[in-house]
Amino acid sequence: MKKTSRSSHVRNIGVAAHVDAGKTTLTERILFYTGASHKIGEVHDGAAHMDYLAEEQRHGITITAAVTQAHWREHLIQLIDTPGHVDFSIEVERALRVLDGCVIVLDGVRGVEPQTETVWRQRARFKLPALLFINKLDRPGADFDRCLASVKQRLHAEPAPITVPAPEAGGVLHLIDRTLIRFIGEQGEQLVVAPCPPELWERHRERREALALAAAEVDESLADLVLSGGEPSPEQLRAAIRAGTLAGMLFPCYGGSALRNLGVQPLLDGVIDFLPAPLDRPVALAERPDGTREEVIMSPDGPLAALAFKVQLWDGRRHVFARLYRGRLAPGDAIEFLTADGRVQREQVARLFEVDAGKKTKRDLAEAGDIVLLAGLRFVTTGDTLCAPGQVLSLERIQAHDPVLGLAIEPAAGTEEDKLIEVLGKVQQEDPTLRVEEDPETGQRLLRGMGELHLQIVIERLEREFGVGVRAGRPAVATRETITQPAGAEALFAPPPTPDPRQPDLMARAIVSVRPRERGRGNLIELEPRLRPEGAQLDETHVQAIRESIDAALAGGPLQGAQVLDLAVCVEEVELFGAGSTPTATAAAVGKALRKALENARPALMTPVMRLEVVVPEPNLGAVLGDLQARRALIQATEILDDLATIRAEAALEPLLGYATTLRGLTQGRGQFSLEFERFDL
């Protein structure tokens, strides 16, 4: 595929949305209309180009973020199709981390849904400009204006409609160009663009005026023209809307139906017109090993800086997806990076590929702005910054959430224990939200993840990709511990004297207090103790050892050995006994006092609390509400719209295990629900 060298003609974008809003269906149309694929694959047939994993085809959902490329209007679009299911939100997180803009897809019937809000928050954290595509407007109950209102209300964003559905005319109305666009041909690939009929334009005149006013708020030169009743030209409007989009003030909005091949080509024009090229994005900031900051300017000149955003096993071999922020990279180049424990690791890139979903093509060179696949890197993990040797930096890392659900697993064949351990290690490298732990009480191996579907997919992959059969226990909810009242404790660390007269006897004393904090506030460590005797001092090694001891004590609480959250730890007094109060002895005294204080502070278990949204037919509403209340769910809102009821609630995760089966039974298979982790609570 011919690669344009001008970065102004590149768009790195992602497609993101709530599950089943139509992201993959839209991506299939984008690939077909740009000529990147020669037929449209449908998700419901298990034939979507971007859903290339066997599990994706079987379940009809996107599980892994897939990368591909397409050309439109002499621009190169590098596109990532992301999952919509909350269990795979790490895939969205790391995709958005390396992209320059995104297309958020909304369901035309249901508007903003829970995972739309999650994706929107992820987008906002990286300050990504976005376009909105309101999909499924061919379905009964779809309402373009209601979707725009839900964007304003729930996302607190200003949608700027560019194309409006005109079903009576069989197409969409383009507000900037004042044209009616119809999509004909077997796959909607032929566009018929004509001036908008006067009677249709009259109905939508106010929308065009609202768009001009929104653009005028961004561009002062337009403000005088619009307020005096003048008519801005399409070029002036596009320039102002682009400026507003890049600044995060406006979000251009397109209507259509991907499945019915309506409205996709204008959206592609919007990607080129309004979303940023790599050079339009703010300069990336990196941290040097000495703690100082450095600006990484997007340019092929200068030492290499690239972010490894995903590790993937491909044909059984380890590959790394990377986005280049500076410099060039070729097969055979050596790279260095900082490991999680602060060491500098050196490796060599064996091969370089560009990727089209499940296919990879060799490349000889990658430059700043490119997203490429690297082979031959054995130690690089998600979030590492690949640098030129001797020029090590760290770009902002990728956040991974802690798992909330666990399964006890063992190999189906007793002889495959070693193989299972090896394979689990590989799968963990791919997915930072997956953990493998050992239960200290039972000795069982626990596989922890983000939800029931997440763990089910992992087990299916172990069997299909690696040929390891797995027996799994019932899902068990991850717990955390906290305290419910203030408490303090004193401890003396004085092990038996050593027989070696040259070694001083270890001894230290500490007083530690703990107090609860508000839920979700995290832990606070106050380390400014009174020192005994007068004039004693704690040096840096003592302070570091004490911090590590506190972290270790909070990693395993007194009730079940789970992590302790939402408390303040205050080291009030430390007594030193000369040479015997080594950093190890002092830290041991603080750790011992802290463990006593935690036991005295009425410790309590916390379980995951989930945000829950259930959509059911109105006749089933009473039965579903009754069932939720029996599960001790806290109902927050109920809305009824076009014979569908939406229930928003908070509930502990444990009573919701297996809820999908119950909901199917209560609604004859017509109910849907989505869960999202909110916090750990009592």
Q: Residue 596 maps to which CATH number?
A: 3.30.230.10
75 located within any domain: yes
Rounded to whole angstroms, the Cα distance separating 387 from 294 reads: 13
Host domain of residue 338: 284-395
3 located within any domain: no
Q: Do 94 and 197 sit in the same domain of this protein?
A: yes
Helix or strand (DSSP H, E) at 76:
strand 75-81
**Does 114 have pLDDT greater than 80?**
no
Rounded to whole angstroms, the Cα distance separating 71 from 9 reads: 10
Considering the chain, what percentage of its residues have pLDDT values greater than 70? 95
User: Would you state the structure tokens that stand for residue 536, as one six-digit string?
Assistant: 């004693």
Rounded to whole angstroms, the Cα distance separating 329 from 336 reads: 13
Q: What CATH number does residue 365 fall under? A: 2.40.30.10
Q: What CATH number does residue 107 fall under? A: 3.40.50.300
**Which residue, 649, 309, 94, is CA-closest to 659?**
649
CA atoms within 13 Å, Cβ hemisphere of 451: 18
**Which residue, 150, 71, 161, is CA-closest to 111?**
150
User: Would you state the structure tokens that stand for residue 399, as one six-digit string?
Assistant: 């956040």
**Which of residues 545 and 404 earns the better pLDDT score?**
545
480-525 pLDDT, tens per residue?
999 999 999 999 988 888 777 777 788 899 999 999 998 888 899 9
Indicate the residue type of 547. R
Q: Do 518 and 555 sit in the same domain of this protein?
A: yes
**Does 43 have pLDDT greater than 70?**
no
User: Would you state the structure tokens that stand for residue 302, as one six-digit string?
Assistant: 């200068």
**Does 409 have pLDDT greater than 60?**
yes
- Give every strand in the sheet of 190-195, ordered side by side: 66-72, 75-81, 10-17, 101-107, 130-135, 251-255, 159-166, 171-174, 179-184, 190-195
DSSP state of 18: S
CA atoms within 13 Å, Cβ hemisphere of 586: 29
Question: According to the per-residue pLDDT averaged within each range, which of 384-393, 405-414, 526-535 is highest?
Answer: 384-393
Question: According to the per-residue pLDDT averaged within each range, which of 1-10, 12-21, 136-145 is highest?
Answer: 136-145
198-210 pLDDT, tens per residue?
999 999 989 999 9
Rounded to whole angstroms, the Cα distance separating 479 from 561 reads: 9
363 located within any domain: yes
Q: Is 189 helix (H, G, I), strand (E, B) or coil?
A: coil
Q: How confident is the model at residue 5 (pLDDT cuts 50, 70, 90)?
A: very low
673 located within any domain: yes
Question: According to the per-residue pLDDT averaged within each range, which of 52-61, 413-422, 511-520 is highest?
Answer: 511-520
DSSP state of 340: T
Domain stop point among 245, 280, 315: 280
217 located within any domain: yes
DSSP state of 322: E
**Any idea what the Cα angle at residue 230 is, between residues 266 and 242, rounded to 5°?**
35
Q: How confident is the model at residue 222 (pLDDT cuts 50, 70, 90)?
A: confident
Q: Do 491 and 581 sit in the same domain of this protein?
A: yes
Q: Do 288 and 344 sit in the same domain of this protein?
A: yes
Q: Do 114 and 216 sit in the same domain of this protein?
A: yes
pLDDT the model gives residue 2: 38
pLDDT the model gives residue 497: 80
586-605 pLDDT, tens per residue?
999 999 999 999 999 999 99
Q: At what angle do helices 114-125 and 144-155 cross, to 10 degrees?
A: 50
Q: Do 314 and 246 sit in the same domain of this protein?
A: no
**Any idea what the Cα angle at residue 600 is, between residues 594 and 603, rounded to 5°?**
90
Domain stop point among 548, 573, 601: 601
Residue whose pair of structure tokens reads 């530690």 in the numeric block: 512
345-380 pLDDT, tens per residue?
999 999 999 887 778 889 999 998 888 999 999 999
User: Would you state the structure tokens that stand for residue 638, as one six-digit string?
Assistant: 């109920």
Q: Do 368 and 419 sit in the same domain of this protein?
A: no
pLDDT the model gives residue 6: 67
Domain stop point among 566, 601, 636: 601
Please state the rounded mean pLDDT for residues 267-272: 96
**Any idea what the Cα angle at residue 304 is, between residues 299 and 310, rounded to 5°?**
105
Q: Do 116 and 157 sit in the same domain of this protein?
A: yes
> Are the C-beta atoms of 546 and 493 separated by less than 8 Å?
no
Rounded to whole angstroms, the Cα distance separating 99 from 447 reads: 31
Instruction: Classify strands 10-17 and 101-107 as parallel, antiparallel or unpaired.
Output: parallel
280-314 pLDDT, tens per residue?
999 999 998 888 999 999 989 899 999 999 988 87
Distances (CA, A) of 412 to 339, 468, 652: 35, 8, 32
**Does 39 have pLDDT greater than 80?**
no
Q: Do 611 and 667 sit in the same domain of this protein?
A: yes
Scored b (16 or more CB within 10 A) or e, 291-309 reads eeeeebebebebebbbbbb
448-485 pLDDT, tens per residue?
888 888 888 889 888 888 888 888 888 878 889 999 99
Q: Is 663 helix (H, G, I), strand (E, B) or coil?
A: helix
User: Would you state the structure tokens that stand for residue 326, as one six-digit string?
Assistant: 């500076």
Instruction: Count up the domains in the chain and report the number.
Output: 5
616-626 pLDDT, tens per residue?
888 889 999 99
pLDDT the model gives residue 440: 67
**Which of residues 613 and 55 earns the better pLDDT score?**
613
Q: Do 108 and 201 sit in the same domain of this protein?
A: yes
Q: Do 453 and 498 sit in the same domain of this protein?
A: no
* β strands within 484-566, DSSP E: 487-493, 508-516, 524-526, 530-532
Count the neighbouring beta carbons within 10 Å of the beta carbon of residue 247. Answer: 11
Q: What is the dihedral of CA 18, 19, 20, 26, to 10 degrees?
A: 70
Instruction: Classify strands 317-326 and 305-314 as parallel, antiparallel or unpaired.
Output: antiparallel
Q: How confident is the model at residue 3 (pLDDT cuts 50, 70, 90)?
A: very low
Q: What CATH number does residue 425 fall under? A: 3.30.70.870
Q: Which of 36-50, 129-143, 171-185, 550-564 has the lowest mean pLDDT?
A: 36-50
Q: How confident is the model at residue 131 (pLDDT cuts 50, 70, 90)?
A: very high
214 located within any domain: yes
Residue whose pair of structure tokens reads 């373009």 in the numeric block: 144
Helix or strand (DSSP H, E) at 94:
helix 89-98
Rounded to whole angstroms, the Cα distance separating 118 from 490 reads: 45
Q: Do 159 and 307 sit in the same domain of this protein?
A: no
Indicate the residue type of 248. G
Please state the rounded mean pLDDT for residues 117-125: 87
Question: According to the per-residue pLDDT averaged within each range, which of 403-417, 545-559, 638-652 is highest?
Answer: 545-559
Rounded to whole angstroms, the Cα distance separating 107 from 62 reads: 16
**Does 82 have pLDDT greater than 90?**
no
Rounded to whole angstroms, the Cα distance separating 472 from 647 reads: 32
> Are the C-beta atoms of 526 and 569 separated by less than 8 Å?
yes
> Are the C-beta atoms of 264 and 188 separated by less than 8 Å?
yes
CA atoms within 13 Å, Cβ hemisphere of 569: 27
**Which residue, 396, 393, 398, 375, is CA-closest to 326?**
393
400 located within any domain: no
Mean pLDDT of the chain: 87
Rounded to whole angstroms, the Cα distance separating 443 from 422 reads: 18
pLDDT the model gives residue 456: 87
Q: How confident is the model at residue 41 (pLDDT cuts 50, 70, 90)?
A: low
Rounded to whole angstroms, the Cα distance separating 147 from 157 reads: 12
Rounded to whole angstroms, the Cα distance separating 624 from 348 reads: 57
159-207 pLDDT, tens per residue?
999 999 998 888 999 999 999 999 988 888 899 999 999 999 999 989 9
pTM of the complete model: 0.78
